[in-house]
């Protein structure tokens, strides 16, 4: 699959920041159906954790350039198209992207703002997620996705059923057309929350493959990459410190009152681990009671 990613890269006269300085725009690509990262809500607005993170990156670039910088979002039909657009410089930024070492050969990643893995969504009491339990079973996958590749190697005797979008995949599972869905565990949980599906469970307890989730940009944009990492680090540190803005931004998608309902301490522990691999950001603590998760 990765061999198909060796696209010719047009010579770029400008870096992402040079173009942003000239136009006031950073182009962002992504899907519009990936809860909780980037999706269209009931009001027809594009929302999600990835959008919040990208807005912070644009704000960091605006401060650096001393001029307003806005995001211009373009929907991408699938992950391969999105990677091609970022790799060739057609798109400046994409967030909510799974990290793999192979992909790192073609784009530059930010520090992560989420952690996920490949698991299976199935009916409660159904498959247990072991390779033996998948033998001969119809497993729904998004064609060309990391979940597709994982099932191909993990359970080669499973019958992989290509599907085009995650909401339709959940509907196929509920209708019995597939016996499980393989994919990103956070996106699977988000799809269940969005569709209101009942009687489903995510298995096994530990992901078949685990990875960080962050943003990607075209290679050789070191200054923009630094600003991107700084924006994400400030968000993570702000959440750890209990700052209201950071806390609300993360909790509305991941926290106890959000879509995934993760305990705040679990989120803090992961954010702290990410920051310990780089440098702690000095963000003043917010002492207002409402800011405490």
Residue 197: the pLDDT is: 85
Q: Are residues 101 and 126 in the same domain?
A: no
Q: Are residues 100 and 224 in the same domain?
A: yes
Q: Are residues 89 and 190 in the same domain?
A: no
Residue 284: the pLDDT is: 76
For 105, the 3-state DSSP assignment is helix
Q: Are residues 221 and 165 in the same domain?
A: no
Task: Look at residue 218 and tell me whether its pLDDT is greater than 80.
Answer: yes
pTM of the predicted protein model: 0.87
Q: Are residues 40 and 109 in the same domain?
A: yes
Give the mean pLDDT of 209-228. Answer: 96
Residues 71 and 28: their CA atoms lie apart, in Å, by 6
Q: Are residues 57 and 69 in the same domain?
A: yes
Q: Are residues 129 and 274 in the same domain?
A: no
Choose the final residue of a domain: 189, 210, 231.
210
Query: Where are the extended beta strands (E) located within 48-146?
Result: 70-75, 94-98, 108-109, 114-123, 138-142
Domain count, the chain: 2
Sorting pLDDT into bands at 50, 70 and 90, what band is 3? very low
* Bridge partners of residue 203, in order along the sequence: 120
Which has the higher per-residue pLDDT, 144 or 125? 125
Residues 99 and 214: their CA atoms lie apart, in Å, by 7
Taking CA atoms, 94 is separated from 62, 115, 218, in Å, by 18, 16, 10
The mean pLDDT of the chain is: 90
- The residues, ordered by sequence, that sit 6+ positions from 219 with a Cβ below 8 Å of its Cβ are 87, 106, 107, 108
Choose the final residue of a domain: 173, 190, 210.
210
Q: Are residues 28 and 52 in the same domain?
A: yes
Report the side by side order of strands in the sheet with 46-47.
33-34, 38-40, 46-47
Domain with residue 60: its CATH number is 3.40.190.10
Q: Are residues 95 and 146 in the same domain?
A: no
Residue 63: the pLDDT is: 98
Structural domain range at position 171 = 117-210
Q: Which two tokens stand for residue 137?
A: 């079973």
Task: Look at residue 135 and tell me whether its pLDDT is greater than 70.
Answer: yes
Task: Look at residue 287 and tell me whether its pLDDT is greater than 80.
Answer: no
Choose the final residue of a domain: 147, 177, 210.
210
Half-sphere exposure of 19 (CA within 13 A, CB side): 20
Sorting pLDDT into bands at 50, 70 and 90, what band is 43? very high
Residues 87 and 124: their CA atoms lie apart, in Å, by 40
Q: Are residues 64 and 170 in the same domain?
A: no
Closest CA to 79 of 48, 107, 119, 41: 107
Residue 225: the pLDDT is: 98
Residues 4 and 69: their CA atoms lie apart, in Å, by 33
Which has the higher per-residue pLDDT, 165 or 273? 273
Residue 291: the pLDDT is: 52
Sorting pLDDT into bands at 50, 70 and 90, what band is 290? low
Residue 257: the pLDDT is: 85
Q: Are residues 109 and 132 in the same domain?
A: no
For the chain, how long is the longest CA-to-CA vector? 59
Task: Look at residue 10 and tell me whether its pLDDT is greater than 90.
Answer: no
Residue 5: the pLDDT is: 47
Residues 114 and 254: their CA atoms lie apart, in Å, by 9
Residue 270: the pLDDT is: 96
Q: Are residues 219 and 272 in the same domain?
A: yes
Q: Which of 204-213, 233-242, 250-259, 274-283 has the highest mean pLDDT?
A: 233-242
Please say whether the beta carbons of 239 and 273 come within 8 A. Answer: no
Give yes or no for a cis peptide into 16 (omega within 30° of 0). no
């Amino acid at each position: 699959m990765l061999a198909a990613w060796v696209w010719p890269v047009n010579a770029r006269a400008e870096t992402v920041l040079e173009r942003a300085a000239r136009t006031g725009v950073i182009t962002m690509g992504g899907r519009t159906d990936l809860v909780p990262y980037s999706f269209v809500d009931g009001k027809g607005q594009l929302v999600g954790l990835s959008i919040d993170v990208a807005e912070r990156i644009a704000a960091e670039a605006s401060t650096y350039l001393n001029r307003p910088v806005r995001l211009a979002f373009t929907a991408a039909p699938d992950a391969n198209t999105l990677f091609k657009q970022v790799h060739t410089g057609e798109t400046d930024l994409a967030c909510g992207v799974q990290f793999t070492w192979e992909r790192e050969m073609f784009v530059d990643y930010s520090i992560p703002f989420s952690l996920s893995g490949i698991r299976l969504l199935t009916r409660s009491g159904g498959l247990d997620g072991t390779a033996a339990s998948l033998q001969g079973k119809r497993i729904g996958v998004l064609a060309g996705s990391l979940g597709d590749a994982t099932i191909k190697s993990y359970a080669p005797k499973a019958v992989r059923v290509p599907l085009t979008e995650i909401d339709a995949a959940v509907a196929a599972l509920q209708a019995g057309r597939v016996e499980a869905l393989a994919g990103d565990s956070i996106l699977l949980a988000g799809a269940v929350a969005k569709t209101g599906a009942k009687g489903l469970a995510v298995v096994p307890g530990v992901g078949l493959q685990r990875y960080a989730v962050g943003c990607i940009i075209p290679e050789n944009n070191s200054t923009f990459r630094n600003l991107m990492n700084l924006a994400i680090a400030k968000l993570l540190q702000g959440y750890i410190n209990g700052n209201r803005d950071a806390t609300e931004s993360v909790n509305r998608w991941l926290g106890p009152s959000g879509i995934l309902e993760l305990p705040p301490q679990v989120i803090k522990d992961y954010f702290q681990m990410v920051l310990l691999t780089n440098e702690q950001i000095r963000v003043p603590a917010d002492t207002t009671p409402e800011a405490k998760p």
